[in-house]
Amino acid sequence: MSDPSSTPPSENVTEFQRRVYAACSRIPPGKVATYAGLARSIGCGSPRAVGQALKRNPFAPAVPCHRVVASDLTIGGFMGRREGEEVSRKRGLLEAEGVRIENGGRIKACCLFEFSLAKSEMPAYEHPHRSGD
């Protein structure tokens, strides 16, 4: 599996996850986005939901979930972990791509990718089990 948009719908990848993976795929090497920024870009109000989708990413490394970090520009989690070997691996992947990380573990603001989609390009995600509020 390498491209979420060309994979037939299945029970394993939800429409929400596909939207998360498609947005994440837009983050270029050497840049990072925040969970909150990615959530906003798809019209979702929950950075945690984005994190949960990325934790289940079956398209890595084509969908570069390691390029999504916490809002305070710290590394955040990776592969469902908040510390340890997995997070060290995420840091290594980011540094190998040219992301600059300060001594305190924060990513330099110059490496932040900002999504700039018009709403018409990617409509807000509507939860399939909720009616319009």
State yes or no: is 24 an active-site residue. Answer: no
125, 16 in Cβ contact below 8 A?
yes
| Residue in 24, 65, 110, 111 annotated catalytic | 65
Contacts 24+ apart (CB under 8 A), 39-45: 40/115, 41/115, 41/117, 41/122, 42/122, 42/124, 42/125, 43/119, 43/122, 43/123, 43/124, 43/125, 44/16, 44/19, 44/124, 44/125
Report the catalytic residues: 65
